[in-house]
Structure 1
Amino acid sequence: MFKKVELQEGVTLYIRKSEQFKTVNFSVKWKTALDEKKSAPRAVLANILEESNGRYRSQTEFRNALDELYGTVLYTDAGKRGETHIVSLSAECVNDEYLSEGGVLEEVLSLIKTVIFDPNVVAGQFDETVVNREKRSVKERIRSLYDDKTRYAQKRMLELLRPDSAASAPSYGTEEDVDALTSADLFTAYESMLNEDEIDIYVVGDIDEDEMTEKIRSLLTFNSRKVHERQTATQQTATQEREVRHVREKQDMKQGKLHLGFTTPVTFRHPDYAKMQMTNGVFGGFAHSKLFINVREKESMAYYASSSYSSHYGLLYVMAGIDAELEEKAVKLISEQLTALQQGEITDLEMEQTKALLANGIKSAFDSARGQIEVFDQYKELDENFTADTIIAGWESVTKDDVKNMASEIKLEIVYLLSGKEAN
């Protein structure tokens, strides 16, 4: 799917010529072992790099320069995947082939180089005004989690289910961590990211692969670095006899947020990964699933009810919005849907619809260059020669017995309810 070129040890270019798009997409990803204390400076640093640089000292100047390049977009982000923290710099510009005069591609590559190697630094540290502004921005993003009660309940459930683990570690750090950051801390994090992180560079568009490879090689001159293999997230599988934890917490709110945490030995690299994706889809991943039909529609017990599979941590979650006094009934009904799967109560229609929706999801991702980059960046850990068809074929081969067997591997470990203070 992508042509792989090792530019330096630890620095890899993945390039794909495609006539599918009229734009050219770039993405640079810095990857390191997830460390909660390192997440805060990397998240703030991502904002700082997007805000301004040594060539355009203000956000307004930088945005105007991008607008003049036919609406080129450039943005950064910080996130996590499994045990890995990732800072991404992405850019998308129109292909010169579609313009009366060229030069946009060269200028965008030059801008990417500037953002990476010539940040807004004065006397060896980042501009204090910019630092304080972006610290506030990251803190606001962290704080927004508390206003979204569904996300907050999920966060609390994960902290209880997997404390001191990558599964519950925030990708932006904590407000306290962000507050404590200095310009010197951020410059240290910047140097570490540039010189020590594993780097993956992506290019997708209707371009000459060899020519683009040489441009990237000459402009993005990263040093070689030793890349230590990061550990796969370890899951702690619950035993059949293990007692399920029940935790209730209260805030000023109306609707109850019921979150159930299940463990499974099947993770992203497990040979049964596709089977567990199918199992989650039949259980609660889509609008035709057992949770949606039986908990929300038939019994009208939940405002919403769905499940999600976090394959990198070997965890499966159920989330439901309920009236708090219905907790016991809701948990019982949710458990009955899993029991039905474990007993093989699965229809042909449930299987067909799940396979179709999973296939549509991956096809939709491949409809955009950004989607191709993100899917490849994850799936290349399994097989660098995969295609959308090979992923879909994995789901197509799953049988009802496979789903039944996978469901038997799913064990409930925690029931968490966040409800209003007036609830019993």
Structure 2
Amino acid sequence: MREHTIHDFETGSLNVHVLPSTTYKTNTLLLHMRSSLDKDTVTKRALLPYVLQSGTEKHPSRKDIRHELDELYGATLNVDVSKKGENHLMTFKMEVANEKFLTDDRPLLERAIEMLASVVLHPRTLNDAFDKSIVDGEKRALKQKLASVYDDKMRYANKRLTEEMCEDEPFSLFVLGDSEDLSEIDEKSLYDYYQEAIENDQLDLYIIGDVEESEMETLISRHFGALGKNERKEKKVNKAVQKHRENSREVIEEQDVQQGKLHIGYRTYTTYDDADYFPLQLFNGVFGGFSHSKLFINVREKASLAYYAASRVESHKGLLIVMSGIESNKFNDATEIIFKQMEDMKKGNFSEDDLEQTKAVLKNQLLETMDVPRGFIELEYHNRLSGTERPLSGWMDEIDSVTKEDVVRVAEKIKLDTVYFLKGKEEAGNE
């Protein structure tokens, strides 16, 4: 695996991470703005990045922004919101061609940095408020996104499981916020919150490409210099809230659906900053993370009980989520066989070959992720979120060192929390 060295420096309250690399033909800029998940701000944060990318002082409309991106040889600008553990992230990403491969001498990278800074620091405003037409348009778009979740039953089931399982925890909040709260937001209240976020969020800017660290320090200082040093802002880490439920619970919901959604939540009591992080990743790989896993083979292939059956880990919260699509009258059979796969993992009823195959697949997946700038950044950002130093260069060795006993030990810590089942009304009496 290639050795990557990230160079860190600060410009005011902005933490900058530069990875000089000749691997990529483009230069990537990615800014994470991080705050705690909070009921009072989650909807504003879901809306804010889309408002910011819709107009700046210098480029007051989407059309103007698109024109500038076209001038930068088709550079791209994307925004997103996500949650990791008890953190809510707003993300701004730009990709621009490496000017070293072009025939003219336009300073593309500096113009891209200037563009990103203008989106984040110099939005289009009027009388200390955002442009009303932009805010209203993005509110409509967000409302449609929220409504569409109901129609995507897999996503809906995940949302409902999280709400039930993590009730009274920040993680229960939906990443896109709430429609009822959306109606209370206007151009003034959102702008006021924007100023708070710029002042108080943890700001991490990643720059990956064929770049020079010293030049990046100069350019970032020039264009992000408006971010003064906030001595009150600490580099805080939001530790995951860990709930202990004495008895697991079952939540059944009925809708007019063709395919039932059986989603099961477990508490792993293992997070990214724990020594057992990699044993948990390998547990998940053997249990349900890949196409050779127990859930896929035994629930879907052998028993034909599910249209799909898989599991995933939320490593900053300490959750394991099983997702399956089943016929509504197969609830008892499906849960029984899923629970058996978990018990088999706890008893060590899997082979060394299963573990070695999972190691190979996991390492290949990680290498593919690292080969993409955004993927590399997301893996490296785990350290920022958790306050842990786990260099990516050592990940392969850590995976190889995991033993079957390690996986069983991690499995034994896992506790069933909530079973959520969305079943069809027409089959309600057929279990």
TM range (shorter): over 0.9
CA distance in 2, matches of 1:415, 1:390: 36
2:34 is paired with a residue of what secondary structure?
A: strand
**Map of 2:343 onto structure 1:** 339
Residues 89 and 327 of structure 1: CA distance in aligned 2, closer, same or farther (over 3 Å): same
1:218-233 aligned within 5 A: 218-221=222-225, 222-225=227-230, 226-228=232-234, 229-233=236-240
Shift of 1:382: 5.3
Shift of 1:29: 1.7
- Partner residue of 1:280 out of 264, 278, 284: 284
**Map of 1:237 onto structure 2:** 244
CA distance in 2, matches of 1:164, 1:139: 24
CA contact 2:273–2:388 (8 Å) conserved in 1: no
CA distance in 2, matches of 1:112, 1:246: 46
**Map of 1:99 onto structure 2:** 102
CA distance in 2, matches of 1:396, 1:109: 40
**Map of 1:262 onto structure 2:** 266
State yes or no: 1:28 paired with 2:35. Answer: no
State yes or no: 1:188 paired with 2:192. Answer: yes
1:231 is paired with a residue of what secondary structure?
A: coil
Deviations along 1:221-246, one digit per CA (max 9) or x if unpaired, are 111122342430121234xxx33212
Residues 113 and 342 of structure 1: CA distance in aligned 2, closer, same or farther (over 3 Å): closer
- Amino acid paired to 1:214: T
Shift of 1:336: 0.8
Q: Give % identity.
A: 36
Most deviating of 224-233 and 33-42:
224-233
Most deviating of 140-149 and 103-112:
103-112
Shift of 1:123: 1.9
CA distance in 2, matches of 1:376, 1:311: 14
CA contact 1:36–1:170 (8 Å) conserved in 2: no
CA contact 1:43–1:172 (8 Å) conserved in 2: yes
CA distance in 2, matches of 1:220, 1:197: 15
- Partner residue of 1:216 out of 213, 216, 220: 220
2:349 is paired with a residue of what secondary structure?
A: coil
CA distance in 2, matches of 1:52, 1:237: 46
CA contact 2:283–2:411 (8 Å) conserved in 1: yes
State yes or no: 1:147 paired with 2:151. Answer: yes
Shift of 1:338: 1.0
Q: TM-score with structure 1 length normalisation?
A: 0.95
The answer for unaligned runs of 5 or more in structure 2 is none
- Partner residue of 2:166 out of 137, 144, 162: 162
Deviations along 1:162-201, one digit per CA (max 9) or x if unpaired, are 1121222112210111121011111111111212212111
1:271-350 aligned within 5 A: 271-350=275-354
- Amino acid paired to 1:386: P
**Map of 1:82 onto structure 2:** 85
Shift of 1:120: 1.2
1:350 is paired with a residue of what secondary structure?
A: helix
CA distance in 2, matches of 1:69, 1:54: 18
Deviations along 1:330-370, one digit per CA (max 9) or x if unpaired, are 11111111111111111122111211111112111111111
Shift of 1:300: 0.4
The answer for unaligned runs of 5 or more in structure 1 is none
CA distance in 2, matches of 1:236, 1:85: 20
Shift of 1:410: 1.3
- How many residues are matched? 419
Deviations along 1:139-170, one digit per CA (max 9) or x if unpaired, are 11222211110111111111111112122211
CA contact 1:83–1:230 (8 Å) conserved in 2: no
CA distance in 2, matches of 1:268, 1:207: 30
CA contact 2:237–2:387 (8 Å) conserved in 1: no
Shift of 1:311: 1.8
**CA RMSD of superposed structures (Å):** 1.5
Shift of 1:393: 1.5
**Map of 1:174 onto structure 2:** 178
Runs in 1 of length 4+ with deviation above 6 angstroms?
Answer: none
CA distance in 2, matches of 1:342, 1:328: 21
CA distance in 2, matches of 1:280, 1:366: 20
CA distance in 2, matches of 1:147, 1:135: 19
1:349-360 aligned within 5 A: 349-360=353-364
1:346 is paired with a residue of what secondary structure?
A: coil
CA distance in 2, matches of 1:136, 1:167: 25
1:126 is paired with a residue of what secondary structure?
A: coil
Residues 106 and 11 of structure 1: CA distance in aligned 2, closer, same or farther (over 3 Å): closer
